[in-house]
Amino acid sequence: MNNTQHSDKSNLQILFEDNHLIVINKRVGDIVQGDKTGDDPLSEVVKQNLKEKYNKPGKVYLGVVHRLDRPTSGIVLFAKTSKALPRLNKMFAQGETKKIYWAVVKNIPPQESGTLTHWLVRNPKQNKSYANAKEVPNSKRAELDYKVIKKLDNYFLLEIDLKTGRHHQIRAQLAAIGCTIKGDLKYGADRSNKDGGIHLHARSLTIIHPVKKEPITFLAPPPEDPVWNACISE
C-alpha cells in the first residue's frame, strides 16, 4: 500500500460514539482485525484511542462486530461493552441491519436498477469469490439491490443495498455483470488506484441500538479524491 495515510489513534475518523458503540470511517488500507501482514489492525488503533482519551488503566474492551475488505473504505462498527457485542452479533447474523454501499464502476449495468442474485464460491487460496448464476457445490446465495445514482464523465456511481454478507460479495457480483469496481484488479479492473484501494465505500449503516432499542443510522463521507469528490458534488 503506497502513499496512503492509515488510521492511527490521533487521526481516527470517529463518526459516532456512546457508552456502548463506536463507529469509525475506515480508510483504504486499514485492516479491521489482525492478519498475517502483522499490520496494526483498526481494532487495536481504536483501543489505543479509547485508552488515552479516557485514561483507562488495564485493557480496553472492544468487540469486532463485522469487517470490511482492506481496500474498501467506510463504516465499521465496534462494541464497547460485553453487553452490546452479542446483541450486535445477532443483529448482523440475522440480517437485521441495513447496509448501503457506494461503488464506482467503469461500465453501466444492463439495467439502471435491479436485484442481483448469485451463488458465490470462495477460493481461500486466491482470497477471491466466484459468482455463479446457479447453485453449485459449496456455494452460498448472495443478493443485493443496486441503482445508478450518478453518471460521471468516465464512471457510474451505484448505490448498493446489501441483502446478504458474503466474502467479496459486491466485488464479485458486480464483476459478474461486467461492472468491475474502479481499481479492483482482483476482479478485472484494467488498472489499480494509486493508493492500492478500490472505489467501494460502506456509505451507511442502520441498526437497532443494542441497549436503547431505537433505530440509529450512521453515514460516512467517502475518501477525498477527485472521483469521490465528483460523486458528492452537486
The grid cell for 216 is: 440509529
Annotate the chain with three-state secondary structure: CCCCCCCCCCCCCEEEECCCEEEEEECCCCCCCCCCCCCCCHHHHHHHHHHHHCCCCCCCCCEECCCCCCCCEEEEEEECCCCHHHHHHHHHHCCCCEEEEEEEECCCCCCCEEEEEEEEEEECCCCEEEEECCCCCCCEEEEEEEEEEEECCCCEEEEEEECCCCCCHHHHHHHHCCCCECCCHHHCCCCCCCCCCCCEEEEEEEEECCCCCCEEEEECCCCCCHHHHHHHCC
Is 69 annotated in the active site? yes
Smallest CA-to-CA distance from 176 within 128, 213, 218 is with 128
Q: Spot the catalytic one: 30, 69, 184, 195.
A: 69
Known catalytic residues?
69
